[in-house]
């Protein structure tokens, strides 16, 4: 850890400061934590997410059961025909039909999860085999996305049954709440002299209870309340498992997802390079080129004046040498040449700042020292990143500090750089008004696209009223 050049210090980035880690999330403790826990548990049965997850389990059970049984039958028939030489082709066609059915069922489960759970899982790429009949048959039998969908449909059988059991908790809790009403109004009480009372339902398959008196029905109410308080978390456990299965088996697969991400980042990198070239061309055309044209014109005028002076000295027609005019032209040419050099230097610095030659910590120290508001800088780096990563980190810090100065109304900012688990984390914070949004066409969108080209990411924490903390995560090597 080092101090910045003006001697100010800030808290370094640690595991607790990095978004996405368990330490960052934290957990309330003590009485406040107990009250927060009680509020969460008490409100869960009335929360929209709890009822949506219960509906997902309720709808997913018959869909998973019917689809799983049908797929098992088709695949079993395909396996049975495949082992025989005569019907091997029929068995292969049944396998292909089973994989197509699995893809269709997987798509239905993805849509259901997106509608009720809010989980948008990308679809796997469609299978478009080419070649002859044998080649197409072989490609369809090797359909990785189809086999993963089949694995999900088969895994959905036990998960769907668990989902149905989770829905039972809701039903049992609601029925037990009506126990006094059923006793007093509907007459569901035991007959005189009967040894069996009114059954009290529980979600457990054992330990049944009876209510022998009207007061005993309030025990059923208590059981119903406890059951309803637990029901959302039972369904959440089931849907959590289902979400993991959907993400692992119904998505495009790691390789396809990686290819898609690489295609997107390649397009972003190409667009970024084209934009950079256009900016360089525009700056050269509107800046340095105009200055150099003015220098050339001034030099032409000086040469013309000198030629006229030489003609006058030779006895031909011509006026005397105007030294003041020549000095004015020379001063103008000198000024334009100096401005052209400055603009070219700034342009080169915008492509690759020379201060990065000494490393990212020194570059950030220079950047923060030039800021118009006080900036606390702390860097904690044990390994120097590659030049491309250093350049991206530097420009991200410069853009974020510019946003702080222009838009946040902050009186102080901080820049913290650290390495953790082989990643580089750059955090820029301020005490301004907050409300920064990574979307909506803001400058943060451009930064997000830039860091994505090297498999990086940006996390923004900016509640209304502040403070704001933007964390850029980058690999150490591009």
Most confident segment among 37-46, 146-155, 253-262, 396-405: 146-155
Q: Please compute the mean of the pLDDT values over residues 414-431 and round it to a whole number.
A: 90
Q: Above 60 in pLDDT, residue 168?
A: yes
The pLDDT, as a whole number, for residue 477 is: 83
| Least confident piece of the model among 75-84, 181-190, 218-227, 238-247 | 181-190
Q: Above 60 in pLDDT, residue 193?
A: no
Q: Please compute the mean of the pLDDT values over residues 145-153 and round it to a whole number.
A: 92
Model pLDDT for residues 88-111, shown as the tens digit of each residue: 888 889 999 999 999 999 999 999
Q: Please compute the mean of the pLDDT values over residues 416-443 and round it to a whole number.
A: 81
Model pLDDT for residues 325-341, shown as the tens digit of each residue: 777 777 777 777 777 77
The pLDDT, as a whole number, for residue 22 is: 39
The pLDDT, as a whole number, for residue 277 is: 66
The pLDDT, as a whole number, for residue 337 is: 78
- What's the token pair of residue 13? 């980035």
Kindly state the percentage of the chain with pLDDT values over 70.
76
The pLDDT, as a whole number, for residue 119 is: 86
Q: Above 50 in pLDDT, residue 432?
A: yes
Most confident segment among 31-45, 120-134, 155-169, 455-469: 155-169
Q: Please compute the mean of the pLDDT values over residues 369-376 and round it to a whole number.
A: 88
Give the orientation angle of helix 360-369 with respect to helix 387-403, to 10 degrees: 20
The pLDDT, as a whole number, for residue 234 is: 94
The pLDDT, as a whole number, for residue 190 is: 65
The pLDDT, as a whole number, for residue 349 is: 59
Please state, rounded to an integer, the average pLDDT across all residues of the chain.
79
Q: Above 90 in pLDDT, residue 61?
A: yes
The pLDDT, as a whole number, for residue 348 is: 61
By DSSP bridging, strand 413-420 and strand 457-461 are: unpaired
15 vs 390 pLDDT, higher one: 390
pTM confidence score:
0.57
Q: Please compute the mean of the pLDDT values over residues 458-473 and round it to a whole number.
A: 87
By DSSP bridging, strand 413-420 and strand 375-380 are: parallel
Kindly state the percentage of the chain with pLDDT values over 90.
24
Q: Please compute the mean of the pLDDT values over residues 350-368 and round it to a whole number.
A: 79
| Least confident piece of the model among 153-162, 203-212, 435-444, 462-471 | 435-444
Question: For residue 420, what is the enclosing H or E element?
Answer: strand 413-420
Q: Above 90 in pLDDT, residue 114?
A: yes
Return the C-alpha torsion angle 122, 128, 134, 137, nearest 10: 30
The pLDDT, as a whole number, for residue 124 is: 83
229 pLDDT band, cuts 50/70/90, is very high
């Amino acid at each position: 850890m080092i101090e910045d050049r003006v001697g100010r210090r800030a808290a370094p980035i640690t595991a607790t400061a990095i978004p996405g880690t368990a330490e960052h999330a934290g957990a309330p403790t003590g009485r406040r934590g107990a009250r927060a826990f009680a509020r969460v548990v008490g409100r869960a049965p009335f929360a929209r997410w709890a009822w949506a997850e219960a509906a997902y389990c309720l709808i997913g059970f018959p869909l998973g059961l019917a689809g799983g049984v049908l797929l098992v039958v088709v695949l079993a028939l395909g396996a049975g025909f495949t082992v025989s030489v005569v019907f091997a082709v029929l068995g292969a066609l049944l396998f292909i039909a089973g994989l197509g059915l699995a893809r269709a069922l997987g798509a239905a489960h993805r849509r259901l999860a997106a509608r009720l759970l809010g989980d948008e899982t990308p679809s796997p790429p469609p299978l478009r085999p080419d070649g002859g009949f044998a080649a197409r048959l072989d490609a369809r039998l090797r359909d990785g996305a189809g086999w993963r969908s089949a694995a999900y449909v088969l895994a959905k059988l036990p998960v769907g049954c668990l989902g149905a059991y989770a829905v039972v908790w809701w039903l049992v809790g609601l029925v037990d709440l009506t126990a006094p009403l059923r006793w007093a109004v509907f007459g569901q009480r035991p007959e005189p002299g009967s040894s069996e009372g009114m059954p009290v339902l529980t979600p457990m398959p054992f330990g049944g209870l009876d209510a022998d008196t009207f007061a005993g029905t309030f025990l059923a109410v208590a059981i119903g309340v406890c059951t309803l308080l637990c029901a959302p978390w039972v369904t959440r456990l089931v849907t959590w498992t289902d979400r993991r299965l959907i993400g692992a088996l119904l998505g495009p697969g790691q390789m396809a997802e990686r290819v898609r991400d690489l295609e997107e980042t390649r397009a972003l990198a190409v667009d970024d390079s084209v934009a950079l070239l256009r900016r360089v061309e525009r700056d050269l055309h509107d800046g340095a080129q105009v200055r150099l044209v003015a220098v050339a014109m001034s030099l032409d005028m000086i040469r013309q004046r000198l030629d006229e002076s030489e003609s006058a000295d030779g006895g031909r027609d011509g006026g005397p040498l105007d030294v003041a005019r020549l000095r004015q032209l020379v001063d103008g040419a000198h000024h334009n040449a100096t401005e052209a050099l400055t603009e070219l230097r700034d342009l080169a610095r915008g492509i690759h700042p020379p201060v990065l030659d000494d490393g990212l910590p020194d570059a950030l120290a220079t950047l923060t020292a030039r800021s118009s508001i006080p900036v606390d800088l702390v860097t904690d780096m044990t390994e120097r990143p590659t030049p491309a990563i250093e350049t991206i980190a530097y420009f991200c810090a410069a853009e974020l500090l510019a946003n702080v100065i222009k838009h946040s109304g902050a009186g102080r900012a901080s820049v913290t750089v650290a390495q953790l688990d082989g990643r580089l984390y750059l955090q820029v914070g301020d005490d301004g008004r907050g409300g920064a949004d990574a979307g909506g066409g803001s400058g943060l969108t451009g930064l997000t696209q830039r860091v994505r080209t090297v498999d990086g990411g940006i996390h923004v924490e900016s509640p209304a009223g502040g403070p704001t903390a933007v964390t850029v995560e980058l690999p150490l090597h591009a």
